[in-house]
Chains A and B, each alone.
Chain A
Amino acid sequence: MQRNVGLQILSVGSGLLLLAALYLVFVYAPLEAVMGAVQRVFYFHVAAGWVGALAFLVAFVAGLLHLRRGSLLADRVALCSSEIGLVFISMNIVSGAIWARPIWNTWWTWDPRLTTATISWLLYAAYLLLRQGIEDPQRRGRFAAVYGVIAFASVPLTFAAIRIFRSIHPVVIGAGAPGAKGSFDMTPAMRDTLLFSLLAFTVLYGALLWHRLRLERLSERVAQLRLRILQA
Chain B
Amino acid sequence: MRAAMARKPRMLRVIGALLWKDLLSELRGRALLAALVVFALLTVVVFNYALDLERTVRASVGAGVLWVTIVFTATLALNRVFAAEREHALHEGLLLAPVERLAIYFGKLLSGFLFVLLVAVVVVPVFALLYDLPVARPLNLAVLLLGTLGYLLPGTLLAALAAHARAREVLLPVLLFPVAMPVILSAVRASQEVLAGSAWVRIAPAFNLLVASDIIFLALAVLLFDQLVDA
List residues of chain A with CB under 8 Å of any chain B CB.
Answer: 67, 119, 122-123, 126, 129-130, 132-135, 139, 142-143, 145-147, 149-151, 153-154, 157-158, 160-162, 164-165, 167-168
User: What is the bound-complex CA distance between A126 and B173, given in angstroms?
Assistant: 10
- Residue-wise, chain B 179-200 has the 8 Å CB interface mask toward A (1 for contact) of 1111001100100000000000
Chain A residues whose C-beta falls within 8 Å of the C-beta of B209 in the assembled complex:
157, 160-161, 164
- Residue-wise, chain B 150-167 has the 8 Å CB interface mask toward A (1 for contact) of 000010011001101111
A151:B179 contact, CB within 8 angstroms: yes
A160:B161 contact, CB within 8 angstroms: no
Name the residue on A nearest B188 (C-beta): A165
Task: List 27 A-B pairs, Cβ < 8 Å.
Answer: A67-B227, A122-B178, A126-B171, A126-B174, A126-B178, A129-B171, A130-B171, A130-B175, A133-B166, A135-B166, A139-B230, A146-B228, A147-B161, A150-B154, A150-B158, A150-B179, A150-B220, A154-B178, A154-B179, A154-B180, A154-B181, A158-B181, A160-B209, A161-B213, A164-B185, A164-B189, A165-B185
Interface range on chain B: under 10, 10 to 19, 20 to 34, or 35 or more?
35 or more
Decide yes or no whether B205 CB sits under 8 A from chain A: yes
A157:B212 contact, CB within 8 angstroms: yes
A139, A149, A161, A168: most-surrounded residue (chain B CB, <10 A): A161
| Given A67-B227, A134-B165: A161 and B158 interface contact (C-beta under 8 Å) | no
Q: How many A-B residue pairs have CB under 8 A?
A: 98
- Residue-wise, chain B 195-217 has the 8 Å CB interface mask toward A (1 for contact) of 00000001001100100110011
B186:A164 contact, CB within 8 angstroms: yes
Chain A residues whose C-beta falls within 8 Å of the C-beta of B177 in the assembled complex:
122
| Given A142-B227, A150-B154, A165-B185: A130 and B178 interface contact (C-beta under 8 Å) | no
B216:A153 contact, CB within 8 angstroms: yes
Name the residue on A nearest B225 (C-beta): A146
User: What is the bound-complex CA distance between A129 and B167, given in angstroms?
Assistant: 10
User: What is the bound-complex CA distance between A167 and B167, given in angstroms?
Assistant: 39
User: What is the bound-complex CA distance between A167 and B181, given in angstroms?
Assistant: 18
Chain A residues whose C-beta falls within 8 Å of the C-beta of B216 in the assembled complex:
153, 157
Decide yes or no whether B45 CB sits under 8 A from chain A: no
Chain A residues whose C-beta falls within 8 Å of the C-beta of B181 in the assembled complex:
119, 154, 157-158, 161
Chain B residues whose C-beta falls within 8 Å of the C-beta of A129 in the assembled complex:
171, 174-175
Chain B residues whose C-beta falls within 8 Å of the C-beta of A134 in the assembled complex:
164-166
B228:A153 contact, CB within 8 angstroms: no
A165:B228 contact, CB within 8 angstroms: no
A157:B174 contact, CB within 8 angstroms: no
B157:A150 contact, CB within 8 angstroms: yes
A162:B179 contact, CB within 8 angstroms: no
